[in-house]
Every structure is written in structure tokens, then in C-alpha cells.
Homo-oligomer: A and B are copies of this chain.
Amino acid sequence: MYRERWVRLQKKMRDKGIDAFLATQNVDIYYLTGSMQTGYAFVPAAGDPALFVRRSVTRAMTEAKTDVVPLASLRTFASELSARYPALFAAGSVTLATEFDVLPVQAYMRLQSAFPGVTWTDGSLLIRETRMIKSAPELKLIRQAAAVIDTAFEAGVAALHEGMTELELMAAIEHSIRRKGHLGLMRMRGYNQELITGMVGAGAAAALPTYFDGPAGGEGLSAAAPQSSGRRRIGRGEPILIDIGCCIEGYVIDQTRTAVIGELPDDLASAYEQAEQVLRRTEERLKPGTICEDLYAAALKQVKEAGLSDHFMGYGSDQVKFLGHGIGLEIDELPVLAKSFTYPLEPGIVIAIEPKFTFPGRGVVGIENSYAITENGYEQLTRSREGLIRLP
């Protein structure tokens, strides 16, 4: 399983004339080695990788599927690497790729000093594209996460009542998934983005725009946590957006359902139906070969015909410009169903597709499922019942 990952990354490296990939980020290191200890995963363009570990070496030894090399300090790293990969460094000019999308400038500068003469290049896309295609064991964990979140969703719906705060409902859902092994947060790659377990947002609060790179914002708890659930009480006749996920053994799931106590106003109920229709039309094209940006363009067209363009994926200047996103070890993986993402779908891609409509002052309605692309089409990973959830 790990060798397959290395081989895929190595092929991409050789295509770009890169001599080796140095993973510095915890999630990438885990993906490449099976361990998340502090250090560096080094993957040469040819040959076996190694995990150079600062801390904890003892723990890395029990976890890693690669050789583990204790790393005394960054100063000795270059000589230890040359000792282990003599041919690579003897060749003269060496090009190393690393994750410019997450690596902080300070850490990068220290690497530059530790490796004089090395040419550094951005390897973010190489690793993200490698990670985009999931293996069978990865799919199995995402299915497990889907089962955990479905149970929590039903528990949440059972507990949901008028006058309950968003935060109380969110906390009940979180308590359910945490006890079943949820990490406690969902890892995100994007700078400054953070996500606990999604959000429960009711009525006007759900429609408040936020910094968060998603279609529904939420009031949040304060200006220091300005997204997701807040302390607003859930009322009758307003949409309750339940956009939740969890992280089981590193892998996340993402799903959204819409509930209401009583009945939704007709236009919101109709917008919810439209969200399901967008999802159905997208599913029809969910198979190998379909181009990601085409799915987004088709959804835009469908929404325009329904007269809902202004409300799609946020409102006005706070709209986000995508229909879905890859999930895996992080919630913001490749591919993105958005303009200029020209990846063709292929087996092993896992995406969350989330058509939503925002009505300022009134709420957000929508649905989100996660899917794995298969040889002939797709497998739906999220299990929760669809349709507007109506409570008495």
C-alpha cells in the first residue's frame, strides 16, 4: 500500500526532473510513512524512502512502514542524507521538492541553510495529486467515518427540539462522534482555516457570511471564533443546516442535511428541492473521465435556470466558487469542483459535493454527500437519509 504511494509520487517527480521529495507536514509524513512523528519523510525519485525523526524516535520505530533514522539536529541532516543516498547527492546539482503551501517561511529558510547548493521547488501539487487517489484501505476508513457520523446525525435529530441552541445540538453530535474515536477536529490544509466538526446553523445565523472557505458561515461563538455554531436558539419554521463530519483514524467524512421543526416557507422548501436536483444531475456524470470544472459549470447553469444564482453557495459578494471538494486525510483535498480544475475524475477520487442556497436573514438549505469514484461510476459514502427532515 505504501509502496504504491511512493511509486506514484516518484513517477510525478521524475516527470518534473525532481530528485527527491521532502515531506515536512505531519499529514504528508503520515501518508508517506504511516507515522506522524516530528521529522522529515524523504522520498527519492528512485529507491526507498526514509523517515528522519527528531521526536519520538521510539514511537516512530513502532509506527513507520519505512526505515527510521534518528535525526540529532537539522545541522547534521544534510550529511546524514548524503550518507544514506550517496548517489543522489554525488550527482552534483540536486533539486528537492517540498510543501510550499504549508511549510512556514522560517522552517524553509532553515532548510535552505542546512542544504547549501540544493535547488528547492514547490512540491505541493505533487503530494496533493498523489493523495487525491485513495486506496482500498483508505476508502474503508472513510466508510467507517461515514457510519460514525450517520449514527451521530440520527442522535442529533432525535435530540433536536425548539429552543435548543445550535451549540447544544453541535455539542451533542460532537460528544457522540468523539466517543466513537473522532480525533476532535477535522484537519485542514488551508492557511488560517480551522474546522472542529462542521456546523449546526439555524435560520439567519447560518446565513451569516464568514472568512471560512465554504458556502455556509454561521454566527460562531464570538469574533474570536467567527464561524460555525453559536448560541442562537433554534426556532420553528426555519432551516436547520446540519453540516457535519468526523475524523476516524485520520480520515474524514463530510455530509450535510437540512431539517426543520414544523414547515419551511415554500421558497426555501423549493430551494432545498433544487439542491437535491443539482446533486442528482451531478451524480449522473460522476464517473471516470468527467472533468471537474464541467460539473461546477453544469451546476451553475442548472441553478441559473432555476432563478437561484444569487443564492448559490453563499450570497452576493460572499459566495464561494465551487460545488465540491476532495476529502481524505484533510477536508480540503483535491480535486475541487470549480473553474480551472481540469482533472478528469478517476477511480479512487473521493469528493464531497455540497449544493447549498443562502437566504440572508432567513437561513441556508442544502445537501452534501461524499462519493468515491469507481471504475464505472461512483459509490456513495455518506449514509444518512436524504430529503428535508421534518420534525413536529
Contact surface of A with B, Cβ cutoff 8 Å: 24-26, 30, 34-38, 55-59, 63, 100-109, 122, 124, 167-168, 170-171, 174-175, 178-179, 181, 183-185, 187, 191-192, 194, 196-197, 208-211, 213, 217, 221-226, 231, 247, 249-251, 317-318, 329
Partner among B104, B191, B249 whose Cβ is within 8 Å of the Cβ of A221: B249
Contacts of A26 in B (CB 8 A): 192, 194, 211
Question: Is the beta-carbon distance between B104 and A191 smaller than 8 angstroms?
Answer: yes
Question: Is the beta-carbon distance between B102 and A104 smaller than 8 angstroms?
Answer: yes
Contacts of A225 in B (CB 8 A): 36, 183, 247, 249-250
25 pairs of residues in contact across A and B, judged by CB atoms under 8 Å: A25-B192, A26-B192, A35-B223, A36-B225, A37-B226, A55-B318, A56-B318, A59-B226, A63-B223, A100-B105, A104-B104, A106-B122, A107-B191, A167-B181, A174-B175, A174-B178, A175-B175, A184-B185, A184-B196, A184-B197, A185-B194, A185-B196, A223-B250, A225-B247, A225-B250
CA–CA, A19 to B36, complex, Å?
40
Question: Is the beta-carbon distance between A56 and B184 smaller than 8 angstroms?
Answer: no
Question: Is the beta-carbon distance between A38 and B209 smaller than 8 angstroms?
Answer: no
CA–CA, A213 to B26, complex, Å?
13
Partner among B101, B102, B179, B223 whose Cβ is within 8 Å of the Cβ of A30: B223
**Closest Cβ of chain B: how far from A12's Cβ, in Å?**
18
Question: Is the beta-carbon distance between B223 and A34 smaller than 8 angstroms?
Answer: yes
Question: Is the beta-carbon distance between B36 and A211 smaller than 8 angstroms?
Answer: yes
**Closest Cβ of chain B: how far from A159's Cβ, in Å?**
13
CA–CA, A224 to B109, complex, Å?
28
CA–CA, A217 to B329, complex, Å?
22
Q: Pick from A30, A124, A223 the residue with the most CB of B within 10 Å.
A: A223
Question: Is the beta-carbon distance between A209 and B101 smaller than 8 angstroms?
Answer: no
**Closest Cβ of chain B: how far from A181's Cβ, in Å?**
5
Contacts of A168 in B (CB 8 A): 179
Question: Is the beta-carbon distance between B318 and A209 smaller than 8 angstroms?
Answer: no
**Closest Cβ of chain B: how far from A270's Cβ, in Å?**
26
**Closest Cβ of chain B: how far from A245's Cβ, in Å?**
13
Question: Is the beta-carbon distance between A59 and B174 smaller than 8 angstroms?
Answer: no
Q: Pick from A38, A56, A63, A122 the residue with the most CB of B within 10 Å.
A: A56
Question: Is the beta-carbon distance between B55 and A209 smaller than 8 angstroms?
Answer: yes
Partner among B30, B179, B224 whose Cβ is within 8 Å of the Cβ of A329: B224
Contacts of A63 in B (CB 8 A): 223, 226
Q: Pick from A105, A181, A185, A225 the residue with the most CB of B within 10 Å.
A: A105
Contacts of A210 in B (CB 8 A): 37, 55-56, 59
CA–CA, A144 to B25, complex, Å?
34
CA–CA, A26 to B212, complex, Å?
11
CA–CA, A184 to B251, complex, Å?
19
Question: Is the beta-carbon distance between B171 and A178 smaller than 8 angstroms?
Answer: yes
Question: Is the beta-carbon distance between B100 and A101 smaller than 8 angstroms?
Answer: no
**Closest Cβ of chain B: how far from A227's Cβ, in Å?**
9
CA–CA, A249 to B223, complex, Å?
7
Contacts of A35 in B (CB 8 A): 223, 226
Question: Is the beta-carbon distance between A208 and B25 smaller than 8 angstroms?
Answer: no
**Closest Cβ of chain B: how far from A182's Cβ, in Å?**
8
Question: Is the beta-carbon distance between B100 and A109 smaller than 8 angstroms?
Answer: yes
Contacts of A59 in B (CB 8 A): 208-211, 217, 226
Question: Is the beta-carbon distance between B226 and A250 smaller than 8 angstroms?
Answer: no
Question: Is the beta-carbon distance between B249 and A224 smaller than 8 angstroms?
Answer: yes
**Closest Cβ of chain B: how far from A222's Cβ, in Å?**
4
13 additional A-B pairs beyond A37-B226, A59-B210, A170-B178, beta carbons within 8 Å, are A30-B223, A30-B224, A36-B224, A58-B318, A59-B211, A59-B217, A63-B226, A102-B104, A174-B178, A181-B221, A184-B185, A224-B249, A224-B250
